[in-house]
């Protein structure tokens, strides 16, 4: 059976003419900010109010979740970087209305021992137009825990270090606009995002020409896409292109994966796996059920499979049971490069 688990000086901030003229960013704009070699995009559509309690690691005790609890569990999935302390950033944005949250990531690497796979990425959080983040107040509070402060592309960043298992994660937190926050794990990735946010042109990440966009429902409350890249796959334990590994299900024909959740309205999730592998049913089941062929399917995990087109296998998962969403998120983490080693 495969197992995956999921003293500083504060400088005042001033709004620039660029920021004053900037309109509320939409999905295409945010995607245009991400580096071209971004491999995974995870998203949560708003509006929703952020609640740090959603990050609780304690599994729900009840067998069935309410619609609100189900929604909360799914919303956390694209917000992995909020699980770090980040100078209490999660508390800073408590009860603030999020319009759109997108995490782009790339270069997935194994952890030093146990824990979350390391990766380069950035979470971009767009808050409602009425929200004005008190950036100076955050930086003042962050002085108690930040290892340093830096400035990049006109944005002041608080830099934090946090030990997680055998790895030390470095995160960067900043506010490039009055209602936009970024949390990043890699400075080069972040600088590209800030450059593009300031108007530098470049090819969009995960371009619309990718076949994955045919199947992902980007209007869903939570959705994601990963287009498997051959370059660097030999260093990525989560890539099916690597070959047999504890963090993947090998598939030399893998193209990509998409998913979307409609947890409150429909209590379902849809996963589309793009591959011409004739054994694709076993591969997708191996991820989502976290089992090999000799293991019986989990009692509460109800999955229907269909083939909407050649080279695409679609799974519809019933999320009524608490066990179902936990197992689904567990498997999806491996598929999108966010495996947790246990």
DSSP string, 17-34: HHHHHPPPP-HHHHHHHS
At 186, list the tokens: 């890699």
| Greatest extent of the chain over all pairs of C-alpha atoms, in Å | 63
Residues 6+ apart with CB under 8 A from 5: 330, 333, 340, 341, 342
Q: Which residues does residue 306 pair with via DSSP β-bridges, in sequence order?
A: 314
Which is nearest to 307 in space by CA: 337, 341, 277?
277
Helix residue ranges, H only, the chain: 17-21, 27-33, 67-75, 89-92, 135-142, 187-197, 280-288, 322-335
Could you tell me how far CA 135 lies from the centroid of its own chain? 24
**pTM of the shown model:** 0.89
- Residue-wise pLDDT tens digits, 54-76: 777 655 556 677 777 777 778 88
At 339, list the tokens: 């495996």
Q: Which residues does residue 123 pair with via DSSP β-bridges, in sequence order?
A: 103, 183
Q: How many whole angstroms separate alpha carbon 56 and alpha carbon 65?
A: 15
SS3 35: coil
Alpha carbons within 13 angstroms on the beta-carbon side of residue 122 total: 28
E-assigned strands of the chain? 40-49, 97-109, 115-116, 118-127, 148-152, 155-164, 167-177, 180-184, 222-227, 254-262, 268-275, 303-309, 312-318, 340-341
What is residue 22's predicted lDDT score, i.e. its pLDDT?
Answer: 57
Q: Write the DSSP symbol of residue 293.
A: T
Residues 6+ apart with CB under 8 A from 125: 93, 98, 100, 101, 180, 181, 182, 183
Q: Find the length of the chain.
A: 342
Which parts of the chain sit beneath pLDDT 70?
Answer: 1-22, 57-63, 290-300
What is residue 15's predicted lDDT score, i.e. its pLDDT?
Answer: 43
């Amino acid at each position: 059976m495969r197992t995956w688990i999921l003293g500083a000086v504060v400088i005042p901030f001033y709004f620039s003419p660029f920021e004053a003229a900037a309109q509320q960013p939409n999905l295409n704009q945010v995607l245009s900010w991400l580096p071209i070699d971004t491999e995974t995009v995870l998203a949560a559509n708003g509006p929703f109010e952020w609640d740090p309690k959603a990050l609780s690691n304690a599994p729900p005790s009840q067998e069935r979740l309410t619609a609100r609890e189900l929604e909360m569990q799914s919303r956390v999935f694209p917000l992995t970087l909020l699980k770090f302390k980040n100078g209490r950033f999660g508390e800073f944005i408590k009860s603030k209305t999020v319009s759109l949250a997108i995490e782009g990531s790339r270069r997935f690497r194994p952890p030093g021992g146990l824990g979350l796979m390391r990766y380069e990425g950035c979470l971009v959080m767009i808050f409602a137009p009425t929200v004005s983040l008190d950036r100076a107040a955050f930086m003042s509070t962050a002085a108690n825990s930040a290892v340093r402060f830096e400035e990049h592309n006109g944005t002041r960043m608080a830099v934090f270090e946090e030990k997680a298992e055998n790895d030390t994660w470095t995160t960067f937190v900043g506010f490039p606009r009055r209602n936009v926050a970024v949390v990043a794990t890699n400075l080069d990735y972040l600088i590209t995002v800030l450059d593009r946010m300031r108007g530098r042109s470049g090819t969009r990440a995960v371009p619309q020409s990718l076949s994955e966009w045919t199947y992902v429902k980007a209007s869903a409350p939570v959705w994601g896409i990963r287009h498997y890249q051959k370059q660097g796959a030999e260093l990525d334990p989560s890539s099916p292109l690597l070959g047999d590994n504890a963090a993947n299900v090998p598939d030399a024909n893998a193209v990509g994966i998409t998913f979307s959740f409609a947890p409150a309205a429909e209590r379902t999730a849809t996963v589309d796996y793009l591959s011409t592998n004739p054994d694709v049913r076993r591969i997708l089941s191996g991820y989502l059920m976290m089992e090999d062929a000799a293991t019986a399917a989990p009692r509460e995990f109800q999955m229907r499979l269909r083939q909407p087109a050649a080279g695409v296998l679609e799974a519809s998962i019933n999320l009524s049971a608490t066990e179902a969403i936990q197992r689904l998120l567990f498997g999806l983490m491996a598929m999108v490069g966010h495996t947790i080693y246990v």
